[in-house]
Amino acid sequence: MDGSVPGFVPRLLSDPTVGLFRADERVFDAMLDGWRAQMLARGLTTSTIENRCGLVGRFQQFTGEFPWQWRPADIEDFLAERRSGEKPISLTTLRSDSNSVAMFCSYLTHPAYGWTEFCERTFGDIPSQICFDWNRPKHTTDDAVPVGRRAFTKRELQRFFDYLDDLVDREHAAGSKRWLPVYRDSIAFKLCYAYGLRRRELTMLDLHDFGPNPHVPEYSMFGAVTIRWAKGTAGSGPRRRTVLTVPEFDWVVPMLQTWTSPGRRDRFTTADRSAALWPSERRDRVTFGDSFAAARDAVGLPKDLGLHCLRHSYVTHLIEAGYDPTFVQAQVGHSYASTTSLYTSVSSDFKQKAVQQMIARRIATPEEATDG
């Protein structure tokens, strides 16, 4: 293996004729530089790379030692300190920190990069993996999703959307200019639910993101929506996915037809110069966190129900409607079925009906129930 591999030991360090002043610090800096090169070659974003390198740098300062001296107890002490300080970090952040150190150790110990041989020759010791299943925070369904990240019940959703519709009617009847932003937000929240969108995905929608589904012509130009700003993975940039309009949410089609009609230019001055789906009087795009919270509080719903819970509701209600989990996974853009399962919080009524259906099926075919 030669130095052509991104992240390989620099030739300057490998030259035995070159002495190293403050060798441990220079080698550690070179290791971080090599890891950066490897992550860049993998296509990770600059912000992700710098966050990971910064975390490893803080870990080194915490231990006061260098990678060829690190031991499992070091990462345990570091994570314990991060979790129990004055401002303890969340389990999600704790898991991310642990993964960063584990990935750095994996890079150093991979034979393709030459660091093991170099450290043994230079320091008489070698780097090793110090993060294992038994000393890393586990990713389980019990702690992966905060308590508040549940789905709305259908009754809660009805109350929420009814409130918004009534508010639009009241503001419009009163001749208030506020009716237009309220109307826009009402449509945005309903669309967020109807397509299971993340907050940024909702904000970044453009008019031309919608298109027909040739298999369902009755939905016209709103048979599908292309999500251009979907969440990336492993530090990559935004991904794309196409979300189909499903029959359970086909009420969104006439709503979108009205909202995207030529008359929208008369509603917002910024609509003339922007293709953004959600213009305002001052900006091309708006965010919805504050207006969602205000409407939620006005209805008296729990404060732990955030805008993202509409996405959980979409997943849950499709599962309850009998959709295949694989289809639902593709609709919301999850890489793993386990992630989709975390979003699913089916109601007790659904569970009871499922049990009753299975009992009825067995009663109808008793001979199958006693086979083998």
pLDDT in tens, 14-58: 555 445 567 889 899 999 999 999 999 988 889 999 999 999 999
Q: Which of 199, 189, 201, 196 is nearest to 160 (CA)?
A: 189
How is residue 198 written in tokens? 């993340």
Q: What is the pLDDT of residue 299?
A: 94
Q: What is the pLDDT of residue 263?
A: 65
- The verdict on pTM exceeding 0.75 is no
Q: What is the pLDDT of residue 139?
A: 55
Tens digits of per-residue pLDDT, 102-119? 999 999 999 999 999 999
Which residues partner with 226 through β-bridges? Answer: 242
What percent of the chain stands above pLDDT 90? Answer: 47
pLDDT band at residue 12 using 50, 70 and 90 as cut-offs = low
* Mean per-residue pLDDT, 246-255: 94
Q: What are phi and psi of 277, to 5 degrees?
A: -75, -25
DSSP 88: P
- pLDDT for residue 158 is more than 80: yes
Separation CA 244–CA 79 (nearest Å): 43
Q: What is the pLDDT of residue 17?
A: 41
In the chain, at which residue ranges do the beta strands (DSSP E only) sit?
A: 210-211, 224-230, 239-244
CA dihedral sign of residues 278, 279, 284, 290 = negative
What percent of the chain stands above pLDDT 70? Answer: 76
* Mean per-residue pLDDT, 71-91: 88
78-82, 105-109, 206-210, 361-365: least confident range: 361-365
Separation CA 163–CA 165 (nearest Å): 6
Q: Domains of the chain by range and CATH?
A: 11-135 (1.10.150), 154-358 (1.10.443.10)
Q: What is the pLDDT of residue 361?
A: 59
Separation CA 104–CA 115 (nearest Å): 12
* Mean per-residue pLDDT, 162-185: 93
